[in-house]
Each structure stands twice: as structure tokens, then as C-alpha cells.
Amino acid sequence: MKIFSRIAVLIIMVGLLTFSATSVNAQAGPPPPPPAGGHGQTTNQLPEGGTAPIGSGVYLLLGLCLTYGIGRTYLEKRYSN
């Protein structure tokens, strides 16, 4: 039980450090006003949309995979006798 509590504390600490460093901004701000007259007729225009980070989901997936792997390893060692 002592080893399990140490592993749980380690997982919590690593998780907090990993997830506290991620960005939570969904968009940088309001888009610039459209240019005057002839918008998009002669030149390429930037696509609409914000600057949403895609890395946060990767951190979540890695954290869940790590937790699952450690749990499976713990259970395998405990009940293999």
C-alpha cells in the first residue's frame, strides 16, 4: 500500500506540472476588419479562424496513457503471484 501511495503522489505531481504549462487561450483576439473594396478578388486571403492550440489534447492523452500503463503494471505485479 505504501508503494501505491507513492506512485499515486508521483502521478499527481507529474500531471499537475504537465497540465499547468499548457495554454488556455482559445483565440488571440478579434479579427482585423476586412480590407476596403474588392476583398479577395485579386489576391489570396488568410483563412478565417482563431489560434486555438492543439497540443492540450495531446498532453491529456499522454497523461491518461501513462496512468493506464502504470495501473496495469501495478495490478500485473500484484496479482501475478
Chain segment 2-36, per-residue pLDDT in tens: 888 888 988 888 888 777 655 555 566 777 776 66
| CA–CA separation, 48 and 11 (whole Å) | 39
Question: Among 30, 36, 34, which residue's Cα sits nearest to residue 45?
Answer: 34
This prediction has a pTM of 0.34
pLDDT of residue 30: 76
